[in-house]
Amino acid sequence: MWTAAICVPAQGGQPYSFAVIGNNVQIPANMFTQQITVAQLEVILQADIVINGVKRNMGGKVKLFPGITNSRNYNNELPEDQYPEPVENE
């Protein structure tokens, strides 16, 4: 079980992203869920495709957000502050 999201400001500010992955078990004591980067999740999904022999042609590597051209932005985790200070554009 996994989910991922990326927040891209309309004014070209700093994008932030997150991903969460878990083992999807029914027994609460055995549940394991953790936050990872979107880039890490893409690597996990790509390996899963290769290991399980998925025959569907995905056109290369897994890219969850193809509209984000700078993969560096995948590692900008969401700020801990609910309302972070705005970044001044120079």
Blockwise average pLDDT, block size 10, the chain, 90 residues: 84 79 86 88 88 71 77 62 61
Find out whether 44 and 21 touch, Cβ atoms under 8 Å: yes
Q: What angle do CA 83, 68, 71 make, to 5 degrees?
A: 90
CA distances from 86 to 14, 68, 72 (A): 10, 21, 20
- Taking the C-alpha atoms of residue 84 and residue 90, their distance in angstroms, rounded to an integer, is 18
pLDDT digits (tens, 9 = 90+) for 37-62: 888 999 998 888 888 877 666 667 88
The rounded distance, in Å, linking the Cα atoms of 17 and 26 is 28
Number of Cβ atoms within 10 Å of the Cβ of 78: 14
Radius of gyration of the CA atoms of the chain, in A: 16
Q: What is the pTM of this model?
A: 0.69
